């Protein structure tokens, strides 16, 4: 059973309203703080019993969220059915989805057992940007692309914007830096070039706190990194009551599986910092590099992202917006028609200007 959080006044399904940071009833207009809603997550989890994971060929439930994240679509063989406790309809969910919507009545659906035990986050950053602001940000972003296809900016496309709590691991990392090498400087004075040789020895400890790495393989890592940083001052202990009205996924990559990526990223950072210190030299060479990067601990959190994918000429393009800070990232498709028209107009303008200049040179305008 996929459960919901009920309005104390009319028993309709509540949704978390990002702008108000409260739960809101779309029917009677009731607004409630999270503390005013006393649903027991253990009861909610106990009700969520998975049904037969096989899917009938006759099922036609839309899976826009799953397709948006996966890109090429999701195999139905990997999905599980839940029953909406509002209308009894089937909710088709893949193994990672923990909060969704009923495709029949539109009720927000929480699959509590998916975010329990080892999969229960320690923290969550609630959405601050609601759908209206996300759509406005998308429209503004689209205007920045002069070759963006007209069909890219349509109501149908905008409706695919998905508010998703993305699973992140927040790593505390300790680094012990030890690098030795040689460097040279050269200066010219008159007819002489003075070359000086140096040796360098860089040692030190460095600590990173809560470095974010998304724990979901279906989401592009570079896209998520482009949305950082998140403001951890607004991070709160996890509460499932922030979920209704949004999608939420659980991780499919453990902290241990991300360790090598964490180490590689931190090593790259150390290299950049060392190079900054050595920029005063004309050349440098690291001879000994005994730098050690050690992830100390990782905490599991859900962070808010507005996400949309668009298929154009057989290729997927993505838009994402940080649901807390409003930072946007992505790559829009390029319309070949618009591009051709732009260059045609540019060439025509250049031709007119050239003829005008030629006319001035020849003593009159050539018409």
Note the pLDDT of residue 161: 86
- Identify the CA nearest to 125 among candidates 246, 237, 248: 237
- Identify the CA nearest to 196 among candidates 178, 206, 183: 183
Q: How far is the C-alpha of 252 from the C-alpha of 96, rounded, in Å?
A: 7
Residues 6+ apart with CB under 8 A from 303: 124, 125, 165, 166, 168, 212, 230, 323, 324
- Which uninterrupted H or E stretch holds 287? strand 283-289
- Identify the CA nearest to 252 among candidates 227, 225, 218, 301: 218
Instruction: Report pTM.
Output: 0.77
Note the pLDDT of residue 52: 37
Note the pLDDT of residue 78: 55
Residue whose token pair is 């399904």: 13
- Which uninterrupted H or E stretch holds 138? helix 131-143
Give first-to-last CA distance, the chain, whole Å. 78
Note the pLDDT of residue 30: 93
Cβ atoms of 93 and 82 within 8 Å: the answer is yes
| pLDDT of the chain, 367 residues: tens digit per residue | 557 788 999 988 899 999 999 999 988 999 999 999 876 544 444 444 443 333 333 333 334 454 445 444 444 445 666 666 666 666 666 777 777 776 666 666 676 667 778 889 999 999 999 999 999 988 888 776 565 666 666 777 777 888 999 999 999 999 999 999 999 999 888 788 889 999 999 999 999 999 999 999 888 899 999 999 999 999 999 999 999 989 888 899 999 999 999 999 999 999 999 999 899 899 999 999 999 999 999 999 999 999 888 777 777 788 899 999 999 998 776 655 444 444 444 445 554 555 545 555 555 544 4
Q: How far is the C-alpha of 23 from the C-alpha of 241, rounded, in Å?
A: 8
- Which uninterrupted H or E stretch holds 275? helix 255-277
């Amino acid at each position: 059973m996929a459960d919901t959080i009920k309005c104390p006044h009319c028993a309709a399904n509540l949704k978390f309203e990002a702008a108000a940071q409260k739960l809101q009833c779309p029917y009677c207009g009731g607004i409630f703080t999270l503390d005013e809603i006393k649903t027991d997550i253990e009861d909610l989890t106990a009700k969520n019993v998975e049904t037969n994971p096989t899917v009938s060929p006759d099922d036609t439930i839309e899976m826009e969220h799953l397709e948006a994240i996966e890109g090429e679509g999701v195999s139905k063989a990997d999905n599980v059915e839940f029953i909406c406790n509002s209308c009894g309809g089937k909710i088709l969910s893949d193994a990672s989805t923990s909060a969704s919507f009923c495709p029949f009545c539109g009720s927000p659906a929480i699959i509590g057992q998916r975010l329990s035990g080892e999969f229960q986050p320690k923290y969550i950053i609630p959405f601050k940007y609601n759908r209206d602001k996300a759509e406005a940000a998308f429209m503004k972003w689209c205007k920045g692309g002069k070759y963006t296809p007209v069909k890219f900016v349509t109501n149908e496309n905008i409706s695919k914007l998905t508010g998703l709590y993305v699973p992140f691991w927040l790593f505390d990392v300790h680094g012990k830096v030890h690098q030795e090498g040689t460097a040279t400087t050269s200066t010219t004075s008159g007819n002489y070039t003075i070359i000086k040789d140096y040796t360098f020895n860089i040692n030190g400890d460095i600590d990173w706190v809560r470095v974010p790495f998304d724990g979901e393989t279906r989401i592009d890592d570079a896209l998520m990194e482009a949305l950082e940083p998140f403001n951890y001052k607004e991070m709160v202990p996890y509460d499932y009551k922030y979920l209704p009205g949004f999608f939420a996924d659980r991780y499919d990559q453990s902290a241990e599986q991300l360790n090598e990526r964490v180490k590689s990223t931190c090593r790259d950072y150390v290299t950049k910092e060392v190079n900054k210190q050595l920029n005063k030299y004309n050349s440098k060479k690291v001879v000994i590099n005994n730098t050690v990067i050690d992830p100390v601990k990782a905490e599991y959190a859900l962070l808010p992202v507005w996400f949309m994918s668009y298929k154009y000429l057989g290729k997927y393009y993505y838009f994402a917006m940080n649901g807390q800070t409003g930072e946007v990232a992505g790559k829009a498709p390029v319309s070949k028609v618009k591009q051709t028209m732009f260059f045609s107009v540019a060439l025509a303008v250049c031709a007119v200007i050239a003829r005008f200049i030629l006319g001035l040179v020849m003593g009159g305008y050539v018409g």
